[in-house]
A = this chain, B = another copy of it.
Amino acid sequence: MSKPQRMPISALKVAERAGVSRSAVSRTFTEGASVSPATRLKVLKAAEELGYHVNHLARGLIRHQSGIVCLIVADINTPHQSFFLEATTRHLQATGKVVMVLNTSGEQHTIENALRQTLNYRADATVVMSGRPSRSLVETCIHNGQRVITINRDDLPEGTEQIIVDNDEASKEAFLMLERAGCKNLAVISSTAGSPSILARENFFMEAAVKAGVPARLCRVGPTNYQTGITAARQILAGSNRPDGVFCVTDLLALGFMDAAKRDFSLHIPQDLCIIGFDDIQQASWQAYELTSFRQPLEEIAQTIATSLQDNTSLPPQLKFPLQTVWRRSVRP
């Protein structure tokens, strides 16, 4: 007790103290193994006294199931991503998994490294939220018996389980909302990121607009963040042909756009300008904004992933979730 032991204690030590075989201690810690109540008690007592904890590294080694799921994600510090991360870790933990987060900058080599780690640690599954992993590496994951689940990207190889959100539907709906509000001159504020989701939102909105014969322009002046929203507003609102209805491909863009519209151009929302965002991040509901937006069903997605991993039953090749439109005050009713 007085001299701290440097090494974790092993099942063998517990067995010795409890006066049973190492098999017995193994059994008392594995779900549904057959141990008599008496020996189980002895083992539990000894384990408690010694501070024993099953070594999941060793267990994973022989069971070929590490219990680890890797999350490959970029921009963790962004509201939407951090919400998803929170939901995913919570649900996965509830089913006994543990999540390893691999932070990628979106550059090719960092995401390759992330994929490599997922392989190194023999993760049961990897969830890809960012980046464009090389086809070959993803294939290696799958060949290794690992499941790979992707969120909002449809550009990945066969064998991958894809979860997507109905960007199509929502973007058309956004157009309709603006049209109903009487907007005659539209703009979609996007970013230069070019991810599948972003592209889909741009495309479906623009398409709906041309189909209806309403003029709409597309604006991409930087990465997907608040500042780009500001820059876009300054650029697009300064011209003579000012839009009166704006669809932002992301709430962060919308919030920046609103701030610039109000402060730099003294525009009133929704009277002078209607605006719609996407993702329904927390800040969208703040009193300074009250942005109408589309909510991604993050809880449901995380839940789906967790139970699918728990039951070890694979998802359909492509699973599409609906978005929920959240009406607030940035669009005239």
Contacts and interface: CB of A to CB of B under 8 A. Distances in A.
A88 to B, nearest CB: 9
Contacts of A90: 103, 105
Contacts of A54: 120
B103 A144 contact: no
B145 A255 contact: no
A93 B102 contact: yes
A282 B7 CA distance: 43
Nearest to A9: B144
A172 B98 CA distance: 41
Interface in A52-101: 53-58, 60-61, 64, 66, 68, 75-79, 81-83, 85-87, 89-90, 93, 98-101
Contacts of A113: 93
Most buried by B among A105, A117, A142: A117
Question: Which of A116, A120, A122 has its CB near the most chain B CB atoms (within 10 A)?
Answer: A120
A101 B89 contact: yes
Given A7-B145, A101-B101, A230-B287, A89 B76 contact: yes
Given A61-B55, A77-B85, A119-B8, A259 B288 contact: yes
B98 A100 contact: yes
A76 B66 contact: no
Given A76-B86, A99-B101, A288-B288, A226 B282 contact: yes
Nearest to A136: B51
A289 interface: yes
A263 interface: yes
Contacts of A235: none
A93 B98 contact: no
A5 interface: yes
5 contacts: A53-B140, A57-B61, A78-B82, A85-B85, A90-B105
Q: Which 10 A-B pairs have the closest CB atoms?
A: A82-B82, A89-B103, A259-B287, A77-B86, A53-B119, A76-B86, A288-B288, A8-B144, A56-B120, A51-B140
